[in-house]
């Protein structure tokens, strides 16, 4: 099944599907929170009350739960109960339709690899009519100082470093293949590779939708690369990761946002990459996400201001967040942990960089600019290769702290 918010009322087909699912046994949210450590009962502190209130919004009743080999619990939640439909403006806008038309291209798009995640490697799956949601526990939220900060980006820009390629103009989406690695990350930091689709008003960022992979030990309690998405409607004053608050509408029953990706690349060994595409539905205006061969879902255009029209900047590459601005630079790595000059099999890459124009056509980037916050810590370089395999590409990353990055 695929859904969109183009229509105001449910179709007869989707109504039948949803009614049939209502007869599927559902485990109540109150029961599973107490039994599975997703609530802190009896604690009267203000912050614990905030945490429990957040959990009631995040963790929905489910028809099935799956325990992953990495300890994650994946809940199969009925489509219409997912967090997005807590937003009043999205309620009643569920209808059964086809995924919007994929962008057209005159060049060969190449074969996309299927995304593989640990939780379903042994054949586990969620039933039709449900979506997999990684369960959030009270401990996940209590890692952060305030429940209000959970799911939002830290707004201290000095804590962030980037090594990216970017283009500016009028765009309706982006596509690229991101090389997947497992960089070393200290416990309070994160490291990621991603695509940004951004809308600026003048010099000020208005909206952003983002997707890629990240290693974030504080949030996930391990160092595995995990699929993530993020969006902001107010220039990072607020925003949301994955499905931990209302906004993104997931349509896929196969992919769990926030769950581990497997396999990963090895230094001077086999390389793995995932194709990410974000594109604007020409008819409805929503921003859809496809990873590998799977369409994941969409950000409704009603969430945004600038992105109700077009994006003005597309960015590809790496980002590192360091929690502590100490005397020495963080040892958190970006990409593979090696500088871009080491090239293929050693440095991380993003290849087949493309944008989507107003005619819904996928085209190679032109006039690609490079940006590195501190090139001696994390670098970036660009190139162009065989159009079928590499196209326009960047190598990026680095080790962080080193003799030239004290």
Known catalytic residues?
A: 210, 319
Alpha-carbon torsion angle 241, 245, 248, 252, nearest 10: 90
CA distances (Å), 401 to each of 205, 361, 378, in order?
Answer: 30, 42, 9
On the question of a cis peptide bond just before residue 364, with omega within 30 degrees of 0, the verdict is: no
**Nearest partner of 134 among 288, 258, 309, judged by Cα:** 258
Contacts by residues 9-15 (CB-CB < 8 Å, ≥ 24 positions apart): 9/92, 9/93, 9/95, 10/92, 10/94, 10/95, 10/96, 11/95, 11/96, 11/97, 13/96, 14/94, 14/95, 14/96
Per this entry, what is the length of the chain? 406
214 and 258 Cβ atoms separated by less than 8 Å? no
CA distance 139 to 125: 26
Cβ within 8 Å of residue 358, ≥6 positions away: 170, 172, 310
CA distance 382 to 195: 16
207 and 199 Cβ atoms separated by less than 8 Å? yes
**Nearest partner of 209 among 285, 289, 284, judged by Cα:** 289
Number of CB atoms found within 10 A of residue 327's CB: 5
Buried-state track 20-41, b at ≥16 Cβ within 10 A, e below 16: ebeeeebeebeebbeeeebbbe
Positive/negative CA dihedral, 52, 53, 54, 55: positive
- Phi, psi dihedrals of residue 75, rounded to the nearest 5°: -100, 135
């Amino acid at each position: 099944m695929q859904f969109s918010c183009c229509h105001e009322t449910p179709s007869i087909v989707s109504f039948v599907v949803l009614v049939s699912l209502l007869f599927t046994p559902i485990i109540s949210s109150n029961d599973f929170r107490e039994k599975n450590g997703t609530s802190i009962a009896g604690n009267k502190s203000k912050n614990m009350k905030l945490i429990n209130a957040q959990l009631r919004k995040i963790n929905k009743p489910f028809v099935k739960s799956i325990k992953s080999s990495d300890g994650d619990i994946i809940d199969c939640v009925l489509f219409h109960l997912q967090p997005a439909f807590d937003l009043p403006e999205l309620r009643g806008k569920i209808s059964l339709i086809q995924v919007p038309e994929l962008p057209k291209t005159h060049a060969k798009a190449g074969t996309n690899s299927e995304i593989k995640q640990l939780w379903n490697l042994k054949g586990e799956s969620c039933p039709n009519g449900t979506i997999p949601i990684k369960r959030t526990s009270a401990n996940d939220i209590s890692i952060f100082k305030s429940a209000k900060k959970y799911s939002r980006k830290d707004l201290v820009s000095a804590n962030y470093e980037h090594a990216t390629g970017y283009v500016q103009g009028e765009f309706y989406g982006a596509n690229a293949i991101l090389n997947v690695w497992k960089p070393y990350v200290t416990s309070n930091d994160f490291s990621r590779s991603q695509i940004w689709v951004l809308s600026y008003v003048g010099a000020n960022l208005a909206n952003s939708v983002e997707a890629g992979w990240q290693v974030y030990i504080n949030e996930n309690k391990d160092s595995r690369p995990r699929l993530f998405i993020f969006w902001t409607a107010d220039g990072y004053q607020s925003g949301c990761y994955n499905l931990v608050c209302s906004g993104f509408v997931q349509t896929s029953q196969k992919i769990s946002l926030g769950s581990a990706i497997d396999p990963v690349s090895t230094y001077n060994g086999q390389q793995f990459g995932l194709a990410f595409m974000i594109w604007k539905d020409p008819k409805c205006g929503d921003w859809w996400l496809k990873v590998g061969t799977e369409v994941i879902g969409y950000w409704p255009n009603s969430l945004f201001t600038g992105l109700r029209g077009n994006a003005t900047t597309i960015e590809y590459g790496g980002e590192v967040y360091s929690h502590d601005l100490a005397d020495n630079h963080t040892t958190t790595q970006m990409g593979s942990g090696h500088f871009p000059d080491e090239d293929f099999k050693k440095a991380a890459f993003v290849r087949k960089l493309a944008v989507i124009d107003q005619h819904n056509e996928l085209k190679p980037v032109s006039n690609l600019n490079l940006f590195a916050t501190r090139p001696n810590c994390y670098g970036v370089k660009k190139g162009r290769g065989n159009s079928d395999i590499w196209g326009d590409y960047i190598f990026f990353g680095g080790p962080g702290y080193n003799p030239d990055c004290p």
